Amino acid sequence: MSGTTPDREGAPARRRGRPPRTESGDTRDRILTVAREEFSERGYEKTSVRGIAKAAGVDSALVHHYFGTKEQVFEAAVAVAFAPALHAPDAVGAGPLDGIGERLTRFFFGIWENPTTRAPLLAIVRSAVNNETAAAVLRRLIASQLLRRIAGQLEPPDAELRAELAAAQLMGCVMLRYVIKMEPMASADLEQIIARAAPVVQGHLTGA
Amino acid sequence: MSGTTPDREGAPARRRGRPPRTESGDTRDRILTVAREEFSERGYEKTSVRGIAKAAGVDSALVHHYFGTKEQVFEAAVAVAFAPALHAPDAVGAGPLDGIGERLTRFFFGIWENPTTRAPLLAIVRSAVNNETAAAVLRRLIASQLLRRIAGQLEPPDAELRAELAAAQLMGCVMLRYVIKMEPMASADLEQIIARAAPVVQGHLTGA
């Protein structure tokens, strides 16, 4: 997040409006990083474009310029946090269909077991549970990026419902293990959970 | 919420401290009803004992007298909202073990499909996702009242983990259908969901 040049330091007025072409990528990234942190810490409702701009050291107008409304800033921040999960369809596709359940389940828990990738996802779930706009953003992202791509590898006509039932098993495990932290689920050996969840995911996706 | 006697109207000072024995049940119930509404509307963090007391027309001291801390008021309010769900173990127990999955699944969705029973449960989930104290209350209640009673009907040694994996499938469906409202899950025919979820619940509870 450094990357500030002497030139810019000496010309703070430039922060208003569109910055020079060469700096715009850095500034956009910095805003996005700050936005992700703000949404993670405060949740969707308590975060403002103004607060993000202030924390990023830019004018609110620049945040709007790059991303649009608060909802669109959130969507961009969520997309970054969601990036590891978006590889799931690749992971799922890389192998025979009868191993799809285990590959998806392992990939999913791999993301949630890692504190670095878990934190932003937890923040998204928290925002989505409490705010309809944040829920809509999450919904669009899961639908377009994740479920439809997984469902695309399955047989019609109910491929999307199958993908969602599989996602429901995994998401329920997330709720009990990482959010509500129910025992024994919260401390159970991950391999034990995978051994029981993976066949269910497989069954939903490809079962009779 | 009427039940106010002329006697009491004329003697507001009585609202401080413990009310006469004959009125105490009514007052306690009224506080509990108001608390449930307040927690439902505002969530755990934004609700205060003072606000509950004000809305119920009593002194804060009386709320503390009946229930204790804010956490304990929440626990009592949650227990009321949770009451229909607490019949689940009975519903589950009423029949052969090989039908346990379908009975539990039908019972569970019966509660969530009904807007009257769904609203307070949604409020609890929202509070628990965002507040560690509220999560602890929900955790205790699910564990002591629901899962352990279901698990008690299953074979050791991993009965509790089995019950939680079954709960995870159902809870994930709740998240996608009622909270995040993903399609096609949100609008899918309930019988179609039950037909796919019930065997999974059965498998978790009694499978190999």
For B114, other C-beta atoms within 10 Å of its C-beta total: 12
User: Which tops the pLDDT comparison, B169 or A140?
Assistant: B169
Quickly state the pLDDT bin for B157 (edges 50, 70, 90).
confident
Flag whether pLDDT at B191 surpasses 50: yes
Is residue A41 classed exposed, middle or buried when 0-12, 13-18 and 19+ CB atoms within 10 A define those classes?
exposed
Give the CATH number of domain B83-206; options: 3.20.20.450, 1.10.3720.10, 1.10.1060.10, 1.10.357.10: 1.10.357.10
Quickly state the pLDDT bin for B177 (edges 50, 70, 90).
very high
What is each CA distance from B169 to A97, B73, B136, in whole angstroms?
22, 30, 21
Asked if A117 and A84 count as a contact pair (C-beta separation under 8 A), the reply is yes
Q: Which residues of A touch B165 (CB under 8 A)?
A: 173, 185, 193, 196-197
What are the tens digits of pLDDT across the range B113-152?
998 888 888 888 888 888 889 999 889 888 887 788 888 8
Q: Whose structure tokens read 């928290």?
A: A126
pLDDT of residue A116: 82
Residue contact B142–A193, C-beta within 8 A: no
The H or E element containing residue A139 is: helix A132-141
Closest CA to B58 of B25, B28, B81: B28
Phi first, then psi, for residue A5 (nearest 5°) are -90, 155
What are the tens digits of pLDDT across the range B20-71?
555 677 999 999 999 988 988 888 888 999 999 999 999 999 999 999 999 9
pLDDT of residue A18: 52
What was the ipTM of the complex prediction? Answer: 0.81
Residue contact A126–B128, C-beta within 8 A: no
Q: How close does chain B come to A26, measured CA to CA in Å? A: 33
CATH number of A6-69: 1.10.10.60
What are the tens digits of pLDDT across the range A42-85?
888 889 999 999 999 999 999 999 999 999 999 998 888 778 77
Q: Whose structure tokens read 């944040």?
A: A134
Give residues with Cβ within 8 angstroms of A40, minimum separation 6. A81, A119, A120, A123
Q: Which residues of B touch A182 (CB under 8 A)?
A: 139, 142-143, 147, 164
Closest CA to A104 of A6, A203, A35, A22: A203
Q: Which residues of B touch A125 (CB under 8 A)?
A: 129
Alpha helices in B60-189 (DSSP H): 60-67, 70-82, 88-93, 100-113, 115-130, 132-141, 148-151, 159-174
Question: Which amino acid does the sequence have at B114?
Answer: N
Q: What is the C-alpha to C-alpha distance for residues B137 and B124, in angstroms, rounded to an integer?
A: 10
Q: What is the C-alpha to C-alpha distance for residues B11 and A204, in angstroms, rounded to an integer?
A: 64
Closest CA to B23 of B33, B8, B37: B8
CATH 1.10.357.10 residue ranges in chain B? 83-206
| Identity of the residue in A43, A180, A183 whose CB atom sits nearest the CB atom of B138 | A180
> How far is residue B60 CA from its own chain's centroid?
24
The fold for domain B6-68 equals Arc Repressor Mutant, subunit A (1.10.10)
